[in-house]
Amino acid sequence: MAESQTNIQQDSTVDNLIKDLFRTVRLNKGFNIWMGFLSVSLVICLYAYYIQLRDGLGVAGIRDYVSWGIYISNFVFFVATSLVGMLVSGVVGLSGQKWVTPLTRIAEIIAVAFAAVAGLVIVSDMGRPERLVNVFIHGRVQSPILWDVTVVTTYFLISLLLLYITLIPDLAYGKDHLEGRPKLLQKLYDILSLGWKGRKAEVKILKKSTIVMLILIIPVALSIHTVTSWLFAVTLRPGWDSSIFGPYFVSGAFVSGLSCLVIAMYFFRKNYKLEDYITDFHFDKVAKLLVLVSLVYLYFNLNEFLVPGYKMKKFDAVHLRELLAGEHALLFWSVQGLGLIIPIILLLIKPFRKPLPMLIIGIFVLAGSWLKRYIIVVPVQEHPFLPIQHEPSNFMVYSPTLIEILISIAPIIMVLMIISVLAKLFPIIPVWETVVHKGLIKDETEIENNNHI
């Protein structure tokens, strides 16, 4: 290749930096064992799904009254977590926060993985998965499910496209820094990089496209979770029949997404030796962001429970008593306490904003986020308007079966696989953007803009 054509200054610092960041793009034994383990687990879980297909959805604990169980909680959780891509790259990125650069790709990969798998999760909850095509043939525009299918698919595609666009310059770098990697991978890099040379015109197009995508992803991401919340809010059931479900879910999504990001940051930093790029400073920043979104979420929680709790309308009262002081009280208060209130308090204290404490807090918040979805989905259905009578006892209360749990673990494994593979195939820290932000190469478009001024 004619390197003289590139605008990239190939001095030693830049070269070392690129080399350092491409370090992680290499298949090794650890990765193979990890993927092998995931694959075996996935096969076991898929066998559970095979049993469900063979015998019917009844192998799960869901029945006529609680007919949405952990599959749907899982779905809501997946959609929620995928919102982190939009939060980090879109909202924080667009607001000109340069510190977020090394985290954007992790966030985007999380978004792609969770959005892709969310679609599969919903299929596992269908009685007739082979009729999925009916949604496209006979789709009713009045049904929130159609909106959900539309926006989740769209969000997945946009996230994938955004991930790809920001990868293009890195892929071009990769061509020169992947000696000894499989030829297939090099070929993949070659094709996907579109022959990127970093010319002024290219950079300009890329920047414009990225901004367009970042702007587009914000309303789409907001709508995926708003629409997901409407799956509940459009019903008449006390506990779901709420007008704040949209923002309530979206703010909750930021909490679960950021906690997932924290965990991913910790693992990538540790395993890929990225301490130079993902620093304590980044953890501190993310912690503060997490506190902010958690406070917003707490605020919505207050609205969601205090307002109906004040009035105690007939059916609301039954639901709230069960949740706040009845059968689900322990779970409810654990989730609110350990998954939201205590993390907020701890993260306000500086020593807890270090990587390891944040990992632990992140795990608690993420687990709390999952359980919160369970609390939103399941207890409401145990108290319909009319009494549940003349039914077998397993119709009255819901308890997930082993098969159901295995089927619910499958998507989590898939997410881990997707994240692992993407993080292996491509540099996990955006190389080009890091180079530009460190001022190692001149951003000529900026100079040009300045000249215009």
Number of residues that bind other proteins (CB under 8 A): 108
Q: Applying CB under 8 A, which part among 61-69, 83-91, 94-102, 293-301 lies near other proteins?
A: 61-69
- Name all contacts of 19-23 with Cβ < 8 Å and 24+ positions apart: 19/177, 20/276, 21/277, 21/427, 21/429, 21/431, 21/434, 22/173, 22/174, 22/177, 22/178, 22/427, 22/431, 23/272, 23/273
Q: Which of residues 367-406 bind other proteins (CB under 8 A)?
A: 381, 384-392, 395
Q: Which is nearer to other proteins, 95 or 142 (CB)?
A: 142
Q: Which two tokens stand for residue 452?
A: 């215009």
- Interface segment toward other proteins; rule CB under 8 A; list 20-28, 111-119, 346-354, 366-374: 20-28
Identify which of residues 96 and 392 has a Cβ nearer to other proteins in the complex: 392
Q: Measured from the CB atom, is 17 or 213 closer to other proteins?
A: 213
Sites for other proteins among residues 309-368 (CB under 8 A): none
Stretch that binds other proteins, among 90-98, 103-111, 138-146, 245-253 (CB under 8 A): 138-146
For other proteins, the closer CB: 349 or 396: 396
Q: Which of 298, 318, 307, 444 is nearest to 381 (CA)?
A: 318
Burial of 397 per CB tally in 10 Å (0-12, 13-18, 19+):
middle
Cβ atoms within 10 Å, residue 212: 12
Are the C-beta atoms of 177 and 19 separated by less than 8 Å?
yes
Question: What is the rounded CA–CA span in Å between residue 199 and residue 2?
Answer: 13
At closest approach, how far in Å is the CB of 15 from other proteins? 16
Binding other proteins (rule: CB under 8 A), the pick from 414, 415, 416, 429 is 414
CB of 23 to other proteins, least distance (A): 4
User: Quick one: 98 or 140, whose CB is closer to other proteins?
Assistant: 140
161 scored as a contact of other proteins (CB under 8 A)? yes
Which stretch, 102-110, 139-147, 368-376, 432-440, contacts other proteins (CB under 8 A)?
Answer: 139-147
Contacts of other proteins in 183-222 (CB under 8 A) = 183-185, 194-197, 199, 201-202, 205-206, 208-209, 212-213, 216, 220
Site for other proteins in 415-434 (CB under 8 A): 417, 421
The amino acid sitting at 254 is: F
Single-letter amino acid, residue 360: I
Shortest distance in whole angstroms from residue 157 CB to other proteins = 7
> What are the CA-CA distances from residue 62 to residues 50, 56, 57, 181, 401 (Å)?
17, 11, 8, 48, 9
Q: CB–CB of 339/367 below 8 Å?
A: yes
Does 65 help bind other proteins (rule: CB under 8 A)? yes
**58 part of the interface to other proteins, by CB under 8 A:** yes
**Shortest separation between residue 226's beta carbon and other proteins, angstroms:** 12
